[in-house]
Structure 1
Amino acid sequence: MLKPLALLAISLGSITAATASSGDAWAEFAAEVEKGCRAATADYFADPTVIVDPFGSESFGLAIVSGDTASIVCVFDKQTKTVEIGGELPATVTLKAAD
C-alpha cells in the first residue's frame, strides 16, 4: 500500500512543479511580447498601454498597443522572435447594426 501512495505523492509533486514552471514560462513570454511591441510602436506612442494575449496563437504572440487616440495590433512570431505591427486603428469604433 505504501508504494502506490509514494508514487501518487511523487506524481502530484511533479505536476505542481510543471504547472509552476509553465506559469513562469507564460509570464516570460508575455513580457517578451510586450517588450517587442513597445519597441515596435515607439514612433507612434510615448507611453502606451499594452494588452498581451496571455497565450497567443499556436505560432504568434498577440497584443494591442494603445495610446490616447489610437491602437495598433502587434504580432510577435514565436519562432523568429520578430514583431510586425498593423496600421493605426481609431480609439473608438462605432458598430452598425445589420439591416
Structure 2
Amino acid sequence: MPSRLIHALALSAAAALLASNAAASSGDAWETFRAEVSERCLAAASSLEKASAVVDPFGSESFGLALVIGTPKGSDTAVTRICVFDKQKKTVELGGELAPDRVIIKAPEKAK
C-alpha cells in the first residue's frame, strides 16, 4: 500500500474519531449549559417562592435565556421574569415581574 494512502486513511480515521467524540460531548455540554442557566437564574430570582425556570435549550449566540416563574414573597399570584445569562461573563440579569395576564403561553394547535 503506498504511504500516501496509508497516511490518508490514518487522517480519515483520526478525523472520524474526533468528530464522534465531539458529537458525544456536545450533548453533555448543552445539558451542563442548561443546568448552569437554570441554577443562576433561580439564584438571581431569590425573591420568588416556589420558583422554577424554563430554559431555552441553546439560547442565543451570546446569551442563555430563561423564564423564571414563581410567587413574590407575600403574594398569592405567580409572576414571570425574563432571565438573561451572559455566556462569556457568566453574569445574570432579570427583567421585571410580568403578571399572568401579560405572559400567556399557549401550545400551538396540531395540524389536522
TM normalised by structure 1 equals 0.78
Q: How does 1:21-36 map to 2 (within 5 A)?
A: 21-36=25-40
Residue 70 of structure 2 is aligned to residue 67 of structure 1 = yes
Residues 1:82 and 2:85 aligned together: no
Question: 1:90 aligns to what SS in structure 2?
Answer: coil
- Structure 2 distance, partners of 1:94, 1:72, is 10
Bigger radius of gyration: 2
Q: Secondary structure at the match of 1:57?
A: coil
- Taking structure 2 as the reference length, the TM-score comes to 0.70
* Structure 1: stretches of 5+ with no match in the other structure: none
What's the RMSD between the two structures over aligned residues? 2.3
Contact 2:54–2:67 under 8 Å retained in 1 = yes
Structure 1 residues 94 and 64: alpha-carbon distance in aligned structure 2, compared to 1, 3 A threshold:
closer
Higher deviation after alignment, 84-93 or 50-59: 84-93
Counting aligned pairs with the same residue, the percent is 52
Alignment coverage as a number of residue pairs:
94
For residues 1-99 of structure 1, what are the structure 2 equivalents within 5 Å?
3=6, 7-43=11-47, 45-67=48-70, 69-93=78-102
For the structure 1 residues 79 and 7, does the alpha-carbon distance in structure 2 shift closer, same or farther, using more than 3 Å as the test? closer
C-alpha separation in 2, matches of 1:18 and 1:48: 34
